Amino acid sequence: MKKTVTRLADGRELIYFDAHDDTVRDAVDRRPLDPVTSASEIRHDPLLDENVAIASHRQGRVHHPPADTCPLCPTTEEWQSEIPDGSYEVVVFENRFPSLSGAGGRCEVVCFTSDHRASFADLDEERAALVLAAWTDRTAELSARDGVAQVYCFENRGAEIGVTLAHPHGQIYAFPFPTPRTTTMLRNAAAHRARTGRNLFDDVLERERAGERVVLAGGHWVAFVPYAARWPYEVHLYPTRRVTDLTHLGRAAREEFPRIYLELLRRFDRLFGTDEPPTPYIAAWHQAPAVHPEREEFALHLELFTVRRASGKLKYLAGTESGMGAFMNDVSPESAADRLREVASS
């Protein structure tokens, strides 16, 4: 892999990731951009003991532009985008409208391909491996920065999720605080260790691997619908050897990941038949905080889920979910696992 670091016209960092070492990236961003001055504010909710980012400057961000003015496509003679080069493999750059900025926070955009009409599921295994390498690189670099508490790599796909740009991309958030979900998992892992002497994630994975909700398994990864799934179709993907974050994955797990993950995404796209639009989903990497007393108890894993519960029907976060945080799932996890096995590639 070759990594090329450059700057956009307003000073933001942009990084090309290429599979071959002889690739040259020397294009210059010639747009007349003013320096980015946005800043978010972190406020603490004492009732929930959670932090909230206030980022009012994001109201002016680009919203569903036509394909010929997409800011994530390569630059052409007719259109100067966020990526100065005329083609690319994988690109990461600082978000022009970050939810987190200052005080250690940072938001980055990850473009998986220059093909505007593609999706992650359309990538070949070499490109998916390059995306994994980019996620790992950014996790290592951002985690080492002062003020960064946790690095979160994720993809939102589909207008139903709230995506404002159709181009295949994801994001990376460097949080200045451990996220609430992670804090809860670490607290429960510590209590489980004190009570049983064992690791909570190891015990959950052992139970799921022996059950009826396994969707896909390789030599180094296993995917299953969790026993208490919140979403109609939700899959958790774990490496079989527990590690805290992407930087600690072994070579064999890295090599197997593209095949396993691409198959999962392609199954999601077949869940509701070919007459439906592409399945909207969120793919979220859960990693241990950069510094935390219970860090070693955490297990890296990916959670993949869709808000579509049936053909033409969405799962809305209504009164119980949005108001109380109490999820009500319309699809049994066992039925979801059956369906995800039915739509296997072979």
| 253-280 as b/e: b if 16+ CB within 10 A | bbebbbebbbbbbbbbbbbbeeeeeebb
Contact 40, 55 (CB under 8 A): yes
CA-nearest of 241, 207, 245 to 224 is 207
Indicate the SS3 state at residue 180.
helix
Integer Cα distance of 112 and 302 in angstroms: 17
Residue 225 backbone class (left: φ over 0; alpha: ψ -120 to 50; beta: rest): beta
Please check the confidence at residue 58 and state whether its pLDDT lies above 70.
Answer: no
pLDDT (tens digit per residue) in 261-315: 999 999 999 999 877 889 999 999 999 999 999 999 999 999 999 999 999 999 9
Domain boundaries, the chain: 2-175, 181-342
Identity of residue 304: L
Is it true that domain 181-342 has CATH number 3.30.428.10?
yes
Half-sphere exposure of 328 (CA within 13 A, CB side): 9
pLDDT category at 61 given cuts 50, 70, 90 is low
Residue 227 has, within 13 A of its CA and on its CB side, a CA count of 9
* pLDDT for 101: 83
The whole-model pTM stands at 0.95
CA dist 295 and 314 (Å) reads: 36
Distance CA 226, CA 235 (A): 7
3-state percent helix, strand, coil for the chain, nearest multiple of 5: 30, 25, 45
The dotted CATH code for 2-175 is: 3.30.428.10
Written as one letter, the residue type at 119 is S
Percent of residues, the chain, with pLDDT higher than 90: 88
Q: Tell me the per-residue pLDDT of 103-157, one tens digit each, with 9 for 90 and over.
A: 779 999 999 999 999 999 999 999 999 999 999 999 999 999 999 999 999 999 9
Q: Please state, rounded to an integer, the average pLDDT across all residues of the chain.
A: 95
Query: Using CA atoms, how far apart are residues 27 and 9, in angstroms rounded to an integer?
Result: 12
Residue recorded with tokens 């590639």? 345
CB 205 within 8 A of CB 238: yes
Q: Which residues are identified as catalytic?
A: 169
Do the beta carbons of residue 175 and residue 183 sit within 8 Å? no
